[in-house]
Amino acid sequence: MAENGGDAGRGQLSLSFGPVTEKNIEQLRVLNRAIFPINYPERMYKDILAYPDVTHLAYHNDVLVGAIACRLEKTPQGPQLYILTLGVLAPYRGMGAGTALLERCLQSVAANLPEISEAVLHVQVNNEAAIKFYSRFGFEVAETIAGYYKRLDPPDAVLLRRRLQPAAGDGAAA
């Protein structure tokens, strides 16, 4: 479950950003509980701490309003960015925080991890706002996975994928 709601139309928030650390990981846990219908396991938070370059917290007036949490995964096609969560508290949605978090993460990957050639995430099939949000950034539906979510209704997910860098030997721009 990667994004809850979209960014459309209510003006821009002034945001500051920070990394997730052992000292503030509990803030991320509380934020995720407030936003998502899933209680994420402790293992996910350990994974997040291992990838500080691709996990960001967004603050408005020193209040945590959103976060993007990712990890890097090895695949047969090479390393990829997996977006675990991207969420913004309901009162702050539609004000650019989700967009800013996603852009910041993707720019960080491009600048610091050029070997990462794609970003992927799963979204519940009925989360039209999230699918539309990601499509604005070039993500495309790669496949539908039946029964992906064990405790949600509907349980099916779509896998969204976006190419970040040209593949080796591929002269096309990303």
Residue 59 in any domain: the answer is yes
Residue 172 in any domain: the answer is no
Residue 90 in any domain: the answer is yes
Residue 170 in any domain: the answer is no
For residue 53, what pLDDT is reported?
87
- pLDDT class for 166, splitting at 50, 70, 90? low
**In CATH, what number is assigned to the domain containing residue 26?**
3.40.630.30
Answer left, alpha or beta for residue 62, where phi above 0 means left and psi between -120 and 50 means alpha: left
This prediction has a pTM of 0.86
For residue 6, what pLDDT is reported?
44
Q: Is 82 a catalytic residue?
A: yes
For residue 173, what pLDDT is reported?
42
Mean pLDDT of 65-83: 94
Mean pLDDT of 36-48: 91
Residue 169 in any domain: the answer is no
Percent of the chain with pLDDT over 90: 76
Which residues contact residue 68 at a Cβ distance below 8 angstroms, ignoring those fewer than 6 apart?
54, 55, 56, 83, 85, 86, 101, 102, 104, 105
What is the residue type of 88? V
Over the stretch 9-37, which tens digit does the pLDDT of each residue have? 457 899 999 999 999 999 999 999 999 98
For residue 10, what pLDDT is reported?
55
Is the pLDDT confidence value at 82 over 90? yes
Q: In angstroms, rounded to a whole number, what is the distance separating the alpha carbons of residues 54 and 83?
A: 9
Annotated catalytic residue, options 56, 60, 92, 122: 122
Count of structural domains within the chain: 1
Residue 168 in any domain: the answer is no
- pLDDT class for 174, splitting at 50, 70, 90? very low
Residue 138 in any domain: the answer is yes
13 and 96 in contact (C-beta within 8 Å)? yes
Domain containing 103: what range?
A: 3-163
Residue 143 in any domain: the answer is yes
- pLDDT class for 172, splitting at 50, 70, 90? very low
Annotated catalytic residue, options 59, 82, 134, 148: 82
Question: In the block, which residue shows the tokens 């699918």?
Answer: 131
